[in-house]
Chain A
Amino acid sequence: MNRIERTLSELGGKKALITFVTAGDPNLETTGELVLSMLENGADIVEIGVPFSDPVAEGPVIQDASKRALDGGTTLAGIFETVKKIRSKTQAPLLLMLYANSIYGFGAEKFFSLCADSGIDGVIVPDLPFEERGEILPFAKKHGVISISLVAPTSRERIEMIAKEAEGFLYCVSSTGVTGMRSSFSTDFESFFGAIKEYAKIPCAVGFGISGPCQAKEMSKYCDGVIVGSAIVKIVGDEKENSPKAVGEFVKSLRDALDE
């Protein structure tokens, strides 16, 4: 059993907290500290964002973080080294969130073999539609890495096909648009998650736009876990090398809200 599946199966009714951080912002050493700080403060799974030159699915917060990381010289090779160091200290599930060309342009076989070596359990590729997953799936499977599928309110009739085949957890995009904090949502969650629950055999987590503990608590009603990204990346952008402490406190507030 993959670490993602094991962790989710051992939640025992608790909601999963999945947190995101952009690798290399402000530097990879801090990224390592941030991941451990988030795990110590109640995150169950951590997504490590691989900065990309053209992050089309991101709002301004993660776009800016990606740019800072790339300007600072962050590379995939460096990220894998950082993952190895993190892995030596924790057995929590670690995912990479990245764009298709960071796998395809890097070389899918080499990429997934490095995932397996460094201890990455899964990948999330927002610009690779389900229908095109054949580009990476054979390589991912060979190396025991899970490819997380995404569904959005606009997925409609494709929800069945995607949910049925999803592995690990199903990433449910809260609303149309890019990543980033939202003050409110216009999605009809009852019907969106109704459709998802009908077909999904694995845990479902909701992400995109969750800005704090209250929203996390509210959204967790509909599913098995919540994913928080931009709100964390924003703190990192403000606090830089000192951010692990502030991020830890923020993650703890999310954890407490979910456990209330």
Chain B
Amino acid sequence: MNAVLELEGAYEKYKDDKDFKEELSQLYKNYAGRPSMLYFAEKMTKDLGGAKIYIKREDLNHTGSHKINNVLGQILLAKKMGKKRIIAETGAGQHGVATATACALFGLECEVFMGKTDMERQALNVYRMELLGAKVTGVSSGTATLKDAINEAFRDWASNVENTYYLIGSVMGPHPYPMIVRDFQKIIGEEAKRQHMELEGRLPDCVVACVGGGSNAMGMFYDFIPDKSVRLIGAEAAGKGIDTKLHAATVAGGRKGIFHGMKSLFLQNEEGQIDEVYSISAGLDYPGIGPEHAWLNETKRAEYVSITDEEAVCAFEYLSRTEGIIPAIESAHAVAAAMKIAPKMAKSQSMIINLSGRGDKDVYQIARYRGVNINE
């Protein structure tokens, strides 16, 4: 508890500090490559025949996803707090890669916890992290996926709390993490709003993002929350279908619980045991959702839809062929949701899809899903 109180204190001290903000802004610009562009997907728009579709290209950030936004912010905070060792959990490996990258840049020791199942399906990212000088520790307990990696990271943090900073990658965990991660990700929505205003002279009618823990969605949604005319749509992973046991659609199938230091929605049984969840996407394979998403759902400010593996893979292929952009399989869930919603909207309307990451890491797995053998 003292560790999170210390973190909250440090964050309150630095979040509005002029030098801190300037340093972060320079890193965003010169290292991460921000602002990320807002791209008009003209072919996709024509093909779907409804709303104008814009794509927020977080996949073009350094390290290939939105994760770097949060990592750079928290690394600076860790540095200010005098922590020498950084630990992180990772699912798809995107947060782990971003963390390993920032640790290389700042010369900090880095250990990333990753479920053994995820290490298999994201072997490329494991090697990337090692190239960047991080130690990747495999976690074989439970389902050997993201939630188990988080368990192990918490255990490590509890043991090494004095010198170690736990760099959580999503809008989850104990306060102040959901707030900190949201604040470092909200630049996505702020930029998108400004860019859309410049291009269209008005707000978009709808923004869509995929939701696992929910950091890219929270980053996209946050600045739009007061703009009631903008629909906020989160796409959850329905895996093999929400009527099966093999999914990770927390809003669709979960209920209130207390886990991983937060009160939120969780997939759980009647005795409060956390469910084993499944998704083709290692980044969405988590049995909970950030507490602010649970609130947005409860107040009906945001809507959450479920996208199956098959729908996500089709969207993965569709965006690759239609726009020449290979999305991360996580982000493909948002693309799939957009493909359902856009045709029902008027041509005068517009939507923004948050393309949270690029899909290079997923090519092998998608090939396997389609029965194509690309073993070298």
Interface residues of A (CB under 8 A from B): 52-57, 59, 63, 67, 70, 75-77, 99-106, 127-131, 135, 154-156, 158, 176-178
Contact = CB atoms under 8 A, between A and B. Distances in A.
Contacts of A52: 273
B272 A154 contact: no
Contacts of A130: 1
A178 B274 contact: no
B1 to A, nearest CB: 4
B268 interface: yes
A101 B259 contact: yes
A257 to B, nearest CB: 27
Nearest to B3: A154
A55 B3 CA distance: 19
B1 A105 contact: no
Given A176-B161, A178-B158, A104 B257 contact: yes
> Chain B interface mostly helix, strand, loop or mixed?
mixed
Nearest to B274: A53
A52 B266 CA distance: 14
Contact of B268 (A57, A101, A129): A101
B11 interface: no
B2 A158 contact: yes
A53 B161 contact: no
Contacts of B259: 54, 99-101
A103 to B, nearest CB: 7
Nearest to B276: A53
Contacts of B256: 104-105
B82 interface: no
Given A56-B154, A135-B263, 10 more contacts: A75-B271, A99-B272, A100-B258, A100-B259, A102-B273, A104-B256, A106-B271, A154-B3, A154-B162, A176-B162
B160 A105 contact: no
Contacts of A99: 259, 272
Contacts of B147: 54
B270 interface: yes
B2 A104 contact: no
Most buried by A among B155, B255, B270, B274: B155
Interface string B101-144: 00000000000000000000000000000000000000001100
Contacts of B268: 101, 105
A131 B161 CA distance: 19
B25 interface: no
A105 B142 contact: no
A54 B155 contact: no
A192 B158 CA distance: 17
A177 B158 contact: yes
Contacts of A105: 255-258, 266, 268, 271-273
Q: Which 7 pairs show the lowest CB-CB distances between chains A and B?
A: A105-B272, A177-B159, A101-B272, A100-B258, A53-B273, A129-B1, A53-B274
Nearest to B1: A129
A127 B261 contact: yes
A21 to B, nearest CB: 19
A77 B37 CA distance: 55
Interface of B: 1-3, 141-142, 147-148, 151, 154-155, 158-162, 255-261, 263, 266, 268, 270-276
19 contacts: A53-B276, A56-B154, A56-B260, A67-B141, A77-B271, A100-B259, A101-B258, A102-B273, A103-B272, A104-B256, A105-B258, A105-B266, A106-B272, A127-B258, A135-B258, A135-B263, A156-B2, A176-B159, A177-B155
Contacts of B148: 54
A158 B147 CA distance: 29
A155 B362 CA distance: 43
A101 B158 contact: no
A200 B38 CA distance: 59
Contact of A128 (B158, B258, B266, B272): B258
Given A53-B142, A104-B258, A154-B3, A178 B270 contact: no
Nearest to A126: B158
A229 to B, nearest CB: 16
Contacts of B142: 53-54
A156 B6 CA distance: 12
Nearest to B154: A56
Contacts of B258: 100-101, 104-105, 127-128, 135
Given A128-B258, A176-B158, A102 B1 contact: no
A92 B259 CA distance: 31
Given A54-B142, A54-B147, A104 B158 contact: no
A124 to B, nearest CB: 15
Given A127-B261, A131-B1, A101 B155 contact: no
Given A54-B147, A103-B272, A104-B272, A158 B158 contact: no
B301 to A, nearest CB: 25
Nearest to A177: B159
Contacts of B141: 63, 67
Contacts of B261: 127
Nearest to A135: B258
Most buried by A among B3, B255, B261, B272: B272
B273 A70 contact: yes
Contacts of A55: 151
A99 B260 CA distance: 10
A236 B2 CA distance: 34
B272 A54 contact: no
A108 B236 CA distance: 29
Contacts of A54: 142, 147-148, 151, 259-260, 274
Nearest to B141: A63
A63 to B, nearest CB: 6
A102 B268 CA distance: 10
